[in-house]
Amino acid sequence: MSVAKDRLKKAIRILERGGIVIYPTDTAFGIGCRIDKPAAVKRLFKIRNRPLTQAVPVLVDSQAMALAYFCFPSQIVRRLMKDYWPGALTIVAPCQKDLIFSPIRGGGDTLGLRMPNHEVALKLIQGTGVPILGPSANFHGRPTPYCYEDLDRKLVDLVDLVVPGECRVGKVSTVVDCSVEPYRILRQGAVQLEPHSPAPELVIDTSQTSITKVSLIVGGKLYEKIVKSGRLKSQTVLPLIEELLKAAKITLSEIKSVRSSAGPGSFTGLRVGFAVARMLGSLLGIPVNGQRADSSSTPVYGKARFEP
């Protein structure tokens, strides 16, 4: 069902005045108002009989709009946006609290954002110039409406306008909480998101005299490079790391821990491996062999202790 342009323009005018509109998205029918209209937000919560302490999802029209509301979004947040937006994935992450009325975030420090894959919803957001609230258009605890006929007539009578349309996915969005490490799937919906794999880890092994081995573990998958190096270990480790990062399609900043072989093996080789690992640990602020890079503990190689 196509939406008449005049109906869409009318919906945008209503939202700009602080009104509430029911509209279709790719997943289900939503009920929304502008994010920056506290009175409208309060009215929306009252209409839906939703407690002010329970956060609601918010819809954006682009990654750029989302980044204006998320606070220092992590690499995983950026990757999920890139891989699944527009689409049926709601991402919960730390937010700019001063920009978001408290009930929208349930009084907390996080916000759930989604970029819908639906022309009507996107045009509503683009027309208002700010995100709009996007909970399902139902009374709190009642069934989610996936088509126009599912809408509760009592709810329809309480809003300012209903924009007709089709919800192509017909299933709730998947909700992932990226405010914790590793991320948690709060609701498995239309997007079949896999549980978070262990954070990327780099392993450096310079213990053997004739070879250098560097491994990268990403998402449970092992990437490994082994080269003959002899006494040139210090010149081979960093190029191997660069090759592995390209193979795994991640950046250096996404590595969350480093391990260096503790031997037994060549004293000089072990020292090279640990020096590189400690440098990366300090640069990235991540653990080296299970300890923070600024730890004062002294590394142990085999049975020998030494000050690097």
CA 200, CA 255: separation in Å to the nearest integer? Answer: 5
Do 67 and 163 fall into the same domain? yes
Is residue 118 in a domain? yes
Do 146 and 9 fall into the same domain? yes
Domain span at residue 250 reads 201-305
> Whole-model pTM?
0.68
Is residue 192 in a domain? no
Is residue 207 in a domain? yes
Closest CA to 133 of 73, 90, 87, 76: 90
Which of 187, 220, 236 is the C-terminal boundary of a domain?
A: 187
Is residue 194 in a domain? no
Do 172 and 207 fall into the same domain? no
- Residue 304's pLDDT band, with cuts at 50, 70 and 90, is very low
pLDDT score at 307: 27
Do 142 and 206 fall into the same domain? no
| CATH code of the domain covering residue 212 | 3.30.420.40
- Residue 169's pLDDT band, with cuts at 50, 70 and 90, is very high
Do 165 and 19 fall into the same domain? yes
Question: Is residue 266 pLDDT above 70, yes or no?
Answer: no
Do 172 and 232 fall into the same domain? no
Which is it for strands 291-292 and 58-59: parallel, antiparallel or unpaired?
unpaired
Do 183 and 212 fall into the same domain? no
Is residue 55 in a domain? yes
Do 119 and 46 fall into the same domain? yes
Do 216 and 167 fall into the same domain? no
Do 107 and 180 fall into the same domain? yes
Question: Is residue 149 pLDDT above 90, yes or no?
Answer: yes
pLDDT tens by residue, 190-235:
998 877 666 788 998 888 777 888 899 887 688 998 888 766 566 7
Which of 187, 212, 247 is the C-terminal boundary of a domain?
A: 187
pLDDT tens by residue, 238-259:
889 999 999 988 999 889 889 8
pLDDT score at 265: 65
Report how many domains make up the chain: 2
Beta-strand runs (E) in the chain? 21-24, 29-32, 58-59, 89-94, 110-114, 132-133, 161-162, 174-177, 184-187, 201-205, 211-218, 221-228, 257-260, 287-288, 291-292, 300-301, 304-305
Question: Is residue 4 pLDDT above 90, yes or no?
Answer: no
